[in-house]
A and B are shown apart, each in its own frame.
Chain A
Amino acid sequence: MSHWLGSAPPSTLDADAAASRAAELRAEAARFDIIGDMLARAHGAMPNALECEGWLGRTRTAFDARLAVLASETLKGSHYAGIISEACTTMAREEEDRAALLSAMGAAP
């Protein structure tokens, strides 16, 4: 049989708030996953270079350089979205653990 030894027992409201925060963070992680996928799809659709015979040399080089920067930035964006999603997921997991703990403590007589 367990007994609460603190000044006051945690309320179920605290557990609910933690669970709600965890759900919010999970949704945020999913949102960034989608954003990451979209950016990866955009990166996949982009041409690497003009690959165009007879196209003016320096103009083509400039175009190719801009395409390369664009592709690199898009890939970086996808990477950032992945990091944010991972951070949200980690925090969501912590909140879920906290909610479970609080819920267990609140339910104790």
Chain B
Amino acid sequence: MAISVGGSHVAVDVAHLRALASRLDEAASPLEEASLRVPTYSIVGDPHITTLLDDLRRATNEGLAETRALAAALRSAAHELEQQEAMAARVIESLASQLVAVTAFCAVRLGLVLAPGLLHATVATLSAWAALPESWREGITDTARELGHGAAPLLSHPVVLGAVRSAFDLVDDAALGALGLPAPLVSALGDSGLGLSGLDSVAAGITTLAALAGVSGVAPVLVHQVGADARRGVGASEVEAPLGVADRVSRIPEPATPIVIERFERSDGSEWFEVYLAGTDSDAPLGGRQPWDGASNIANAAGLPSSSLQAVRAALLAAGALPGSDVVFTGYSQGGALATRLAESGEWHTLGLVTVGAPSGGTPVAGSYPAIVIEHRDDLVPTLGGSRAPTRAVVIVGEGIDGGHPPGTVLPAHELERYESTAVEVDASDHPSVIALIDALPKATQSGTRTAYTAERVTAE
């Protein structure tokens, strides 16, 4: 399990160096106290004791200075490593951006030339398919399906996932290149340059086009409290406060009731809310009544007020959370991306953030609350958020699948159960940054209330 503080690619080393610097700080504290207590002269007249006292004073003072110097040097080295890594990434992305822009430019022009021929070939292929006997078509379809299953393990291969992450970083450059912008200008506008274009701008374009086609990821929603009785107003059940990361991850709901909100009171009467958000409903039709769908995913990537985001806001209001209320957000997949956006929105006072398998690389954590981002190295979904921008969150990368790709599964490393297992490992971690974050999450001594919500997109039908 790799733990990264700041989301850098050289995270393991950087986190380790910072942890060592913290240990030296811990050592400096008693050294400083000792140096203040060492007297300047000895009340014992013995010259041997006077010499020992001088040695002790020197060891304490110089030890303190050296400890502080080493801690500072380690922090400086960690910072330098991050800077070098970021610079190398920018150079590589700039070159790749220009290459992709040129390729897209050529491909579009070539496509325009070849379009009549391609159209003719497509029509011919479809006609030939229709002319085939039913049994032949079924056989070909089955073979294609088997080939697809055979390719499924590739979706969990780290090299393929790295390529996907890079491809998502460059998709905006390809779009600008296809529009005919010169390659150097594309590079200057993109992530490696001014940052004016990016995955979010492409996603915004897709959302707009989808809306024109009648599929809206930003349509309004209705939120219903599960089990709510209009007369008695019930629907909440009693629940103990969550302990640590694994307990929070285990409370993430299924997409059918995608929002769960718990309310706890502290001994001084103040309250805080724990919000748990589900991942995408893979069976939901695009732009249908279920707002936890692909259309909301694209709207989220575009930074737009997706239907699922609106639903969480509405549920929080219904649960009694006011602007500025204390809230801890926990989410899986799309729920994790939502949790990150809401935690960063400033609408509530965020007390903590826990995400698992979320495509949230483009939404860095800038707030000073405890934030833990858990990903699996072999999970495709987090790569869809592109490369991770520098973040204050502690990023933990674990292994989703051990011992090969389980048969009959497409994205096993993305399964919530596997993330629950990783979360247990996180709780057991002895990494100082992780321990500090878990300790910083709120705790309650008395039980609270739990309420689940369903959400329904208001469609044009």
Seen from chain A, the residues whose Cβ lies within 8 Å of a Cβ on chain B are 24-25, 28, 31, 34-35, 38-39, 41-43, 45-47, 50-55, 59, 63, 66-67, 69-70, 73-74, 76-77, 80-81, 83-84, 87-88, 91
Contacts and interface: CB of A to CB of B under 8 A. Distances in A.
B98 to A, nearest CB: 30
29 contacts: A25-B43, A25-B44, A28-B43, A31-B39, A35-B34, A35-B56, A35-B60, A39-B31, A39-B59, A41-B30, A42-B28, A42-B63, A43-B27, A45-B30, A46-B27, A47-B23, A51-B16, A63-B70, A70-B66, A70-B70, A74-B27, A74-B31, A77-B59, A80-B56, A84-B42, A84-B44, A84-B49, A84-B53, A87-B46
A66 B68 CA distance: 12
A6 B43 CA distance: 31
Contacts, number: 111
Contact of A52 (B16, B33, B34, B73): B16
By size class, the interface of chain B is 35 or more
A45 B21 CA distance: 11
A70 B63 contact: yes
Contacts of B23: 45-47
Interface of B: 10, 12-13, 16-17, 20, 23-24, 26-31, 33-34, 37-39, 42-44, 46, 49, 52-53, 55-56, 59-60, 62-63, 66-67, 70, 73-74, 77
Q: Tell me if A's interface is mostly helix, strand, loop or mixed.
A: helix
A77 B56 contact: yes
A25 B39 CA distance: 13
A66 B65 CA distance: 12
Contacts of B42: 84
Contacts of B24: 45-47
Given A53-B12, A74-B63, A66 B44 contact: no
A83 B53 CA distance: 10
Nearest to A39: B34
B13 A53 contact: yes
Nearest to A74: B63
B117 to A, nearest CB: 52
B56 A42 contact: no
Given A42-B28, A70-B70, A77-B55, 10 more contacts: A25-B44, A28-B39, A38-B31, A70-B66, A73-B62, A73-B63, A74-B59, A77-B59, A84-B53, A87-B44
A35 B38 contact: yes
A11 B31 CA distance: 45
Nearest to A66: B70
